[in-house]
Amino acid sequence: MTKLLSIRGLRTWFHTRAGVARAVDGVDLEIAPGETLALVGESGSGKSVTALSILRLIQEPGRIVAGEIRFDGMNLLTLDDRRLRAIRGNRIAMIFQEPLSAFNPVQSIGAQIVEAIRLHRRTSRRAAYARAVELLEQVGISSPDIRVHEFPHRLSGGMRQRAMIALALACKPDILIADEPTTALDVTTQAQILDLLKSLQTENGMGLLLITHDLSVVAETADRATIMYAGRVVEEGPVATLFTRPSHPYTAGLLASVAIDDLPPGERLPEIPGTVPSLLAMPQGCAFADRCPKASGAAGCFTKAPEFSAVSPRGEHRVACFLSAMSPAWRFPVPAERKTLPREMEEDEKIKAKEAA
């Protein structure tokens, strides 16, 4: 499969007064045309910074210090400003988490779409305007010829995100980067927006980089997923494989924390103990070692960072862990001391026991 976009060894560091925060520290990922790649991780894991790095939208004090981002034979990191601007919005477009703040508040959505089209295409204002109406219709906005004159704050959240998608699709990009596109929306609207993205993707054949922390979104939408932890990629593979046979303890932990179906009622949800290490003071070894139930000094978890290596024969499933040879049905263990019931439940049990006696 030919890759449309490939990122190699991307490092984006923030040079703050407190020290260097390695927000993205050696990230590799690839997207093929028509493919959906989910970039998964908790807040602060560097997924948004990775996305912004692709279009070089990182602001001071952040800086891309190393790496290569290849797109259509060009390295985006060394491209001059004019050429880069010709790619932004035209061939690689982006949609943001909060559509209200991503729209200019004093321009109608139509005017903003027209402007986006005319940035990259030599068309008349009238033609661009007709295209804007067409785009709004395509993303499922009713009476688009009226809505095109609306100001962003007059639309509902779901409507606004649809308009945002229309804006991003204005120039039929090859790649769409969606940074948590559904986080600010309620669940029903979420599903609609994801469906819309999927159907637009099949229509246009574009690659979709879907940034999210929501594993249900990943399961529903993505073909492959890349899991990030503390600025590094810890695991990557087809979604079906990742969800059934996670190889990295962090991935396994994430899955266990949402897999509540087979838990008895009243049982505490399994969680990953501890917190993410500060980006300013990263441990010498594996970033996850301190929270990892399997980590051992013998394997070298605390002394050196694990290499990213394939765990499947064809190499599409890769993981950065010394202990990757785990049983397929690896389950994240629930710590023993947490296996107590909440207090109300305990009291209920006592009452029941008394009644029985």
Report the interface residues with other proteins, using CB under 8 A: 52, 55, 57, 81, 85-90, 93-94, 96, 98, 101-107, 115-116, 119-120, 151, 167, 170
- For 76, 82, 259, 266, the CA distances from 38, given in Å and listed in that order, are 21, 30, 19, 32
Cβ distance to other proteins smaller for residue 107 or 204: 107
Cβ distance to other proteins smaller for residue 62 or 249: 62
Helix axes 187-204, 157-168, angle to 10 degrees: 20
Sequence-ordered list of residues with C-beta below 8 angstroms from that of 45, at least 6 positions apart, any chain: 228, 229, 230, 231, 276
Least distance in angstroms from the C-beta of 163 to other proteins: 12
Chain centroid to CA 254: 14
Cβ distance to other proteins smaller for residue 5 or 102: 102
Give the length of the chain: 357
Torsional sign, CA 164, 168, 172, 176: negative
Least distance in angstroms from the C-beta of 81 to other proteins: 8
Burial of 248 (0-12, 13-18, 19+ CB in 10 A): buried
For residue 339, count other CB atoms closer than 10 A to its CB: 10
Cβ distance to other proteins smaller for residue 102 or 323: 102
Least distance in angstroms from the C-beta of 193 to other proteins: 17
Least distance in angstroms from the C-beta of 106 to other proteins: 5
Least distance in angstroms from the C-beta of 101 to other proteins: 4
Cβ distance to other proteins smaller for residue 81 or 262: 81
